Structure 1
């Protein structure tokens, strides 16, 4: 094979090699009820690269009564109890979705909250997108505080690293999914294979 032709072929294939985005799903089924989720999904138990502030608690039904029902993943959900409930994903993501149920603790609690998606960790940097979270928990059901679940999703320009849930105290979420920044793994493997071809072609020329 002509070395120049092989070089051009390698450059073209590398440039066109696909990168693949991976969805990361956090179903909140693992942590014990009322435990802070913290680093559970950041290597403490499951290595998803996702961490949460101390006010993001896991919630499971027990003998004291059903706290939630009809959730997308039935074993557990997340509940927000304070402002330190930011989700961080240091690798970066380009889209997000989750199901939510909002049950105000007091009649005077706000009807709606805004959950922000930010370019930096811990809710810092540029606000890239926002979710409107409204009171929906008792919409057509009354068998538990969190019984009605709405789905919300967003995509945005740029790369996000955190979602600030802390403004929405007293609501629950389930099946949080983020679309991780694509990694060029396939392109790298292809480039290594083509490099070997080029070396062989150069030795023969």
Structure 2
């Protein structure tokens, strides 16, 4: 089999494989405070990332009655898991790991769980219980003033995450590796350049 044919078959396989992922971070900036995040990241007011939340995922910003939280990674707006279940759905799916920052007022009452299906269904791919840390170290300038980062690795493709939802935890900077059905343009560009180069070499070989 010639090099050109091999590279052509590789290009076809690459086009058919949806194994590319883009790192996406949900920081909740811009979402309306005391309202559900809902479809904000599904093209409604915010970016169209194919990510949606159940109504119990409330955006929370500090106001004249606050502060409700402080020292968050992005200190403008966070997500408050107001009630169970608080679900994040990723339509295209995500792989590898989930990371997020959290501040919790009670130990092990809020559990973050990754599911293979939408809306908290399917196989459980990973889970972690949150520790009490909301005022860790003696911080007292708000109810949620101490934040920690969690990274949870898993195998397979997930479509949803349950963020506890017993009203004791806030979340920020949720990061996932979202699956993309289309390879990055740079990948196809390099492949096309290689094909063109091999074509020139083959033509020169035939003439000599």
TM-score band (shorter)? 0.7 to 0.9
How far the C-alpha of 1:87 sits from its partner, in A, is 0.2
Normalising by structure 1, what TM-score? 0.82
- Runs of 5+ consecutive residues of structure 1 not aligned to the other structure: 105-109
The one of 134, 138, 150 aligned to 2:135: 138
The one of 122, 125, 128 aligned to 2:122: 125
CA offsets 1:152-172 (integer angstroms, 9 cap, x no match): 011211000000114443210
Give distance in 1, aligned partners of 2:75 and 2:111. Answer: 25
Give distance in 2, aligned partners of 1:27 and 1:42. Answer: 14
Partner of 2:170: 172
Give distance in 2, aligned partners of 1:126 and 1:189. Answer: 37
Partner of 2:158: 160
Relative to structure 1, the CA distance from residue 112 to residue 83 in structure 2 (aligned partners, 3 Å threshold; closer, same or farther) is closer
How far the C-alpha of 1:121 sits from its partner, in A, is 0.4
Give distance in 2, aligned partners of 1:118 and 1:88. Answer: 10
Is the Cα contact below 8 Å between 1:80 and 1:171 reproduced in 2?
yes
Partner of 1:50: 51
Is the Cα contact below 8 Å between 2:55 and 2:86 reproduced in 1?
yes
Partner of 1:107: none
Give distance in 1, aligned partners of 2:195 and 2:119. Answer: 41
Q: How does 1:1-205 map to 2 (within 5 A)?
A: 4-12=2-10, 20-46=20-46, 47-94=48-95, 95-104=97-106, 111-140=108-137, 141-182=139-180, 183-186=182-185, 187=187
- Runs of 5+ consecutive residues of structure 2 not aligned to the other structure: none
CA offsets 1:29-84 (integer angstroms, 9 cap, x no match): 11111000000111101212110000000000000020000000011000011113
Relative to structure 1, the CA distance from residue 9 to residue 148 in structure 2 (aligned partners, 3 Å threshold; closer, same or farther) is same
Give distance in 2, aligned partners of 1:178 and 1:9. Answer: 32
RMSD: 3.0
